[in-house]
Structures are given as C-alpha cells and as structure tokens.
Structure 1
Amino acid sequence: MVTTSTSGSGMSKRRRSAQNDGSPGYQAKRAELMSAAAAVFKEKGYEAATLNDVAERFGTDRASIYYYFASKKELFQALFHDILVGVLDENIAVGSDIVASDRSVPDKLRGLVEQQLMSYENNYPYVYLYIQEDMAKLSLEGTAWARDMARKTKRFETLVTDVLQQGVDEGAFRADIPVPLMAKALFGMINWTHRWLKPGMRKSDARQTIDAFCAIFFDGAVNRSPGQ
C-alpha cells in the first residue's frame, strides 16, 4: 500500500513538473494523446471507453497516460478546456461580424450555418464529442469553466435566433412559425450531423451539407406570400 501511494505521488509530481515546464516535446505528445482519446471517446462514448482503450490507440500502456493526465475524467475535460473554448470564441466572433454586416438576412443565416458546420469539420471530432456526450454526467455544470462554455454556446444560438427574428420582421421569413421553433429545427439538423458527418466522406462533405441544409430550410422558411 505504501509503495503504491508513493508511486502515485511521484507520478503526480512528475506530471505537475512537466506541465509547469511546458516543453514543446511534452505539449506535442499531450496533444497527440488528446487526439487519440477524442477518437476513442467518439467511437465508444465516455462511459464505455477506458484508459486502456486510449493507451492502446496511443500506442503506449495505461501507466504512461498518468504522466499527462491524472484520470479519464481529467483527460476528457481537457479536450474541451484546451480546444473548444477557442472554437466557440471564433464562432462567436465570426458570427457577430456576419450579423453586423449589410448582407441580406438569408445570406446572414447561411453564413452562420456555414461557420458552424465548417468549424465542426475543421475541429473534428472534438466539437461532435461535445455534442454527443451529456456534460452533466461529468458534473461540469457546477464549475465556472462549464458555465462559461454554456454561455458561449448560448451566445451563438442567440445570434442565429436574432437573424431569424430579423427575417420575420422584414418579411423575408414566414411569420406563422415561432422563431424559437425555427431555431430549434435548424440546430436540430446541424447538430444531428455528429451521428454521420465525417471529414473525407465522398458523398456528403461539410460544403455539400451546408448547401443541402440551406436549401431545405429556406424552402420552408422563406415567406412565399403574394407580393414577396
């Protein structure tokens, strides 16, 4: 028992020392490990995946993972803390510019859809993993970081909702469907792609999906009243 405790304490000290040192070699290996872990979590789900699965994908043993992360939970959280914060910030920044532009309302909405789906493809599988997993399982909702993630996600959703409302107010979009329901329908299409859309697909890449979704959505959302 003493030996195990001492060994665990020693690994913890080594991990903290390596993290504080932040050498390029350590950070590069840590990033590779996170990429391997993301693939495993995406395929098996967080609950079913084990550190042994991650170690096998990474080409090492389980004990070596503890040099980078103290637990499966810490590794999983790092995927979002280190990567998704920047993705969400970029989506909000680009989305805000789109909304503030003088583009037509349908073009603004298409721009927002394009930004979101391209960010999914460019940051695969991290964003889809965030959608796929129930974050409450990891008790993240009580942390300041998790609340910030939820706030950022809500901010982008608000940008989309504002454009939809602008479209209704200006007569570009039909007014007989509540805007929140239109937003849910649009995000339902976009977010469900985590189940099937992967970079490199021959039949359906992100660009083709953007075109298809916009065609389907606009065909139902555009106001086709006489005189429009």
Structure 2
Amino acid sequence: MSENKSPAVIRLSEARAEHTAQMMKINDITAAIARSKKEREAAIENGKEAETNWRTRFRSLRGNLTDELRAQHSQRIVSRELAEEFTGLIEELEFEHEGEMIKAVRTGHAYVNAHNVAFTQYVEGQWEAAMRNLSPTLVRAVRLKLLSLRLNDRGRHTDPRHQEPEAILAREVGKVLADKAEAARLDMDAEPVVSEIGVYRPALTGVDMKLYNSPCSIQVRLQECNKKLEKQQKESQA
C-alpha cells in the first residue's frame, strides 16, 4: 500500500515509471527508424530493378509505349518517390529520437537520484535503529576493551606513531563489523523495502551515456535541435 511507503520510495516508483515510459517512446521510435530504413532499401532495390526492366523493355520495343510499358514506367516512379518519402520520414524520426533521448537523460537522472535518496534514507533509518538497540553484551565487551587499551596505553608523549585507545578500538570494531557485513547475505524475501528500492544503481539501458555524463553535450544537442526546428518552421512557411 502506498500509504505505508515513505515519500522517497513513492518518488522512486514515480521516477521509475516515468523513465520506463520515456524509454518505451524511444524504443518505438528506434523500431520505426529500423523498419523505415528496411522499407527504403527495399524501395530502392525495387526501383533499380524496375528501372533496368523498363529500359530493357523500352529498347526492345523500339520506343513503342505499350500499356505494360507505361505500367512499368509508373512503377519505377512510384518506387523512387517511395524511397524519397522514407528518407524524409527517417530524418523526422531521427530528429524526434534526439529530442526524446534528451528527455530520457533527464528522466534517467531523476530515476538514479530518486533511487539514491530512497536507498540512503532507508539505510540511515535502519542504522539509527540498530545503534539505538545495541546488544548490552556487545556494549559491555567494547567498554572492557576500551579500559584494557587505556590501561596498556604507552608512548603517549614519546612515540610519534602513538594512537589513542579510542582510535584503536574504533578501527578494530569497525574491521570486525565490516568483515562480517561483507560476508553476510541479505535474505531478499525478508526485505520487501530493499527489494522494491533495489540494492544497485538502476541500469539505464538504451540511454545515451555520453549525454548523461555531459551536461555541456546536452546543451549543444538542444541548440542543434532548436536550429533544426527553426529551419523546418521556415521551410514550412515558405
């Protein structure tokens, strides 16, 4: 239920959905470009074949324009015009793809940031709860260890490499906990929140990572898109 989720997790779900929807748009455009290129190549090949057949037939008939020859002539024109239409369509689709990719970079950033916030907030909450409920046995052992280190503290005023007992204790406890944590495995069946958030950074499959990692490149691409758009508007008004 959404009312049981934190605002950060809700925002993550929204950002994930927004980015997924944006990538679906790009996938549709990419598929349309691939399909159009294939159809253009077919039209070009058909046009070449029709051109060759027509010229051969035209010469063999000594210029006698039969109904069949007229039909072949129309077919080669149709193939040529169809190829040109696909060329124009591909240019439009590629321009649209550029604009949608810029949007995908933005939704990708929002998705990754939302994941970072949700995961960090959840982890910090779990950490604080654990720190408030430390085992009395552990606290006692740490206290005794600290007293022992202080008792055996030597070289405080003479050894340049001297370390305070608290620093030694922090390092030793930290290493033990880090080693145990490294070897531990999360039972994801018992981690509904972690499972929903995801442990790793979201994969941005299909996103132009050069644009993603370069705000300057995005600005350059936007300027190029704006110039193309202005040119198209002028041509349509001419």
Same fold (TM over 0.5): no
- Using the size of structure 1 for normalisation, the TM-score is 0.26
- Kindly indicate which of the two structures has a greater share of residues assigned to helix: 2
> Which is bigger in relative contact order (C-alpha 8 A, separation at least 6)?
2
Q: TM-score, normalised to structure 2's length?
A: 0.26
